Amino acid sequence: MSILVINAGSSSLKFGLFDAEAQQTLATGLIDWRVNPQQAELAIHPSGGEPICSRESITDHRTAVLHAVNKLSSLSSFYPSHSGGDKGEREAAPAVTMVGHRVVHGGTRFHEPVRIDANVKKEIAQLVELAPLHNPAALEAIEAAESVLPHVPHVAAFDTSFFASLEPRAYVYPAPYTWFHAWGIRRFGFHGISHAYCAGRAAELMNRQPPELRLIVCHLGNGCSVSAIRSGRAVQTSMGFTPLEGLMMGTRVGSLDPGILLYVQRQKKLSVDQVDHALNHESGLLGISGVSSDYRQVKAAADEGDERARLALTIFADRIRATIGAYAVALGGVDAVVFTAGIGEHAADLRAAVCEGLQILGLRLDVSRNAACTPDADIACPDSPGRILVIRTQEELMIAREILKRGG
């Protein structure tokens, strides 16, 4: 028996298959159609087996879920051996006993995993405007999964849940108080599932208990966020009311003088929709470099002498470093900085750029360890007072454990 977890990104789908107690990973997979929807890359890595790779025509999350389930159904862990060879018969008795779904924005309503029903889907839909790149994708993936696995519970886990522990000093904006009190405008924070996993894993790697630690977790992918964690609880986070605030990202702007938004609407006559599109889809690494939202492509262009690409990488590293510095002060010191997600786990050059100057915080990078590391690893110098960790985030595993903890 197993748990299937589906993690819908803006133009990708991650998924994982886990044993019934979420202790063992049976398979992981990724479908990515950002570059070419007609030649989307599908890869499944069964535990202890040969990878299953193919290229498919995939343009939306519904199609991606159907392909993922179809490919997973060939694994013995997905359907019981006694269910026969006919697919219809196998679907009548799936070995999958629960399906977990990552949902980015849970608002103030959802602070823990919840069984999905029509009302839950309606409330997720009401938050679409606050997470326009992700909540629609999650809803599409949920309905597709329900159509192929209709007889098992589907449970939503929310990225915002980990930040429910924030105090008012961290989540109330200094705007008119009625905006918060009457309209619910506040900081929510995102990537919480990843931040929570990395906090626990960091404690394991350091052989310390979470209550002893002051951690700064840098989740750096197409979306980026930093959190300050004390005693296993988040006390600060860089994303806010929506996933637009904070660090510069692949296509998202991050923190920006709000006066600029008033200026481009009043003086340059941009509509609200035009501003929305620019901030979410035309900014960040793509907006500065003019090359790509993909860090690897921007880095390649910078290496070839492209000045705008170099500027994009410099701003990217500077903003991460500045946030680490601010959060170290908020925590009263830092025991470890964690790099995670696609860029954080794989871009040694970015880690080196971010760590330049952090020696003042007791964080000394070992250049050779950084260049050679594979997650999970400590890349700080042996005598560094604070540790620098690279951790492979496992959001799907964390979701499986969370939904089990809540009893589905």
Q: What is the pLDDT of residues 146-167, one digit of tens each?
A: 998 888 899 999 999 999 989 9
Whether the per-residue pLDDT at 132 is higher than 70: the answer is yes
Whether the per-residue pLDDT at 120 is higher than 60: the answer is yes
Burial of 238 (0-12, 13-18, 19+ CB in 10 A): buried
Apex 224 CA angle, 35 and 357, nearest 5: 120
Whether the per-residue pLDDT at 337 is higher than 80: the answer is yes
Whether the per-residue pLDDT at 315 is higher than 60: the answer is yes
CA 257/CA 11 separation, integer angstroms: 28
pLDDT band, very low/low/confident/very high, at 92 (cuts 50, 70, 90): very low
Q: What is the pTM (predicted TM-score) of this model? A: 0.89
Give me the mean pLDDT over the 279-293 stretch.
Answer: 96
Confidence at residue 373, expressed as pLDDT on a 0 to 100 scale: 94
| Contact predicate 19/2, CB 8 Å | yes
Active-site choice (32, 60, 159, 306): 159
Nearest to 58 by CA among 144, 132, 135, 124: 144
**Mean of the per-residue pLDDT values of the chain:** 90
Q: What is the pLDDT of residues 234-259, one digit of tens each?
A: 999 999 999 899 999 999 999 999 99
383 is catalytic: no
Q: Which residues contact 349 (CB under 8 A, 6 or more apart)?
A: 299
Least-confidence region, from 61-65, 86-90, 310-314: 86-90
Confidence at residue 88, expressed as pLDDT on a 0 to 100 scale: 42
- For the domain spanning 209-395, the CATH number is 3.30.420.40
Confidence at residue 86, expressed as pLDDT on a 0 to 100 scale: 45
Give me the mean pLDDT over the 298-303 stretch.
Answer: 97
Helix then strand then coil, % of the chain, to nearest 5: 45, 20, 35
Confidence at residue 408, expressed as pLDDT on a 0 to 100 scale: 55
Whether the per-residue pLDDT at 81 is higher than 50: the answer is no
DSSP letters spanning 71-127: HHTTSTTTS-GGG-S-HHHHHHS-SEEEEEEEES--TTT-SS-EE--HHHHHHHHHT
Topology alike, domains 2-158 and 209-395: yes
Q: What is the pLDDT of residues 185-230, one digit of tens each?
A: 999 999 999 999 999 999 999 999 888 899 999 999 999 999 999 9
Q: Which two tokens stand for residue 297?
A: 């492509």
CA 354/CA 275 separation, integer angstroms: 30
Share of the chain above pLDDT 90, in %: 67
Share of the chain above pLDDT 70, in %: 94
Residue ranges of the domains in the chain?
A: 2-158, 209-395
CA dist 82 to 78, 152, 231, Å?
Answer: 12, 18, 47
Least-confidence region, from 23-27, 277-281, 329-333, 357-361: 23-27
Which CATH fold topology does 2-158 show? Nucleotidyltransferase; domain 5 (3.30.420)
pLDDT band, very low/low/confident/very high, at 71 (cuts 50, 70, 90): confident
